[in-house]
Structure 1
Amino acid sequence: MKQFLYLFRGGDEEYARQSPEQMQAHMAKWGEWMLKISQNDQPVPGLPLQAEGKVVYNGGETITDGPFMEGKELVGGYVLVEANDLNHAVELSKDCPIFEFGGSLEVREAVEM
């Protein structure tokens, strides 16, 4: 099995317009999905990310506030999954709850070093 990183982008604006009950139901879907795509009885590792951060350039000589980009492009979280290959990782991603609010999911294979 290979490791893949799912990067989640967008969907935050529509999610923020939901009632607390709708948000809670949506988060339950995330938990169910993360358990479904795992290879054991534990959810796959991953976390949402804060919108704020810093961008570091030139070995730390330049540090800016950020990231600054459109909300639909901002990475909002990540998950690590195991899959046979890229196509398998894509198949596992297809019923991700992020799609309910117009978000996207990028699938990237981790390279062993």
Structure 2
Amino acid sequence: MQKFILAYHGGNTSMTPEEGQQHMQKWMAWMDGLGDAVVDRGLPVGQSITVSADGVMEDGGANPLSGITIIQAESQDAAIAMTKKSPHLDIGGTIELAPAMDMPM
């Protein structure tokens, strides 16, 4: 099985507490439904900054990161199928999917 990193971007950040709770319940149900495919549930992140050779952008750039998860799947297509079911997409967010490279670090 290959590992894939899901990088969550954007999404509705102006939810009421009740809407946030409903979204979290959907997200947890989706995550639980992935079963053994979940390698690391990951975590949400706060306001990101972008560091480059030209300096630091404190607004997180054009499409700021909002969280990560690591899954495993038989193929990229299988990982895409799992990712398409994420409730993060229902709140206007996007998910960047990338295969993890197996190399010594």
Q: TM-score range by the shorter chain?
A: 0.7 to 0.9
Rounded to whole Å, the distance in 1 between the matches of 2:40 and 2:102 is 19
Residue 45 in structure 1 maps to residue 41 in structure 2: yes
- Percent identity for Structure 1 against Structure 2: 26
Among 81, 85, 109, the residue aligned to 2:99: 109
Instruction: Work out the number of aligned pairs and report it.
Output: 103
Q: Which of 50, 56, 68 is the aligned partner of 1:64?
A: 56
- Cα distance in 2 for partners of 1:15, 1:50 equals 11
CA distance, structure 1, for counterparts of residue 10 and residue 99 of structure 2: 21
Looking at secondary structure, tell me which structure has more strand per residue: 2
> Given that residues 6 and 70 in structure 2 are in contact (C-alpha distance below 8 angstroms), is that contact kept between their aligned partners in structure 1?
yes
- Contact preservation (8 Å) 1:37, 1:44: no
Which whole-Å CA distance do the structure 1 matches of 2:43 and 2:8 have between them? Answer: 10
TM-score, length of structure 2 as denominator length: 0.83
More helix by share: 1
Q: Could you tell me how far 1:78 is from its partner in structure 2?
A: 0.6
Letter in 2 for 1:83: A
Which has more radius of gyration? 1
- Residues 72-109 of structure 1: CA deviation (Å, up to 9, x unaligned): x1111110001001111000111101111111111100
C-alpha displacement at 1:10, in angstroms? 1.1
Residue 56 (structure 1) shift: 5.9
Amino acid in structure 1 at the alignment position of 2:6: Y
Alignment of 1:13-24 (within 5 A): 14-16=12-14, 18-24=15-21
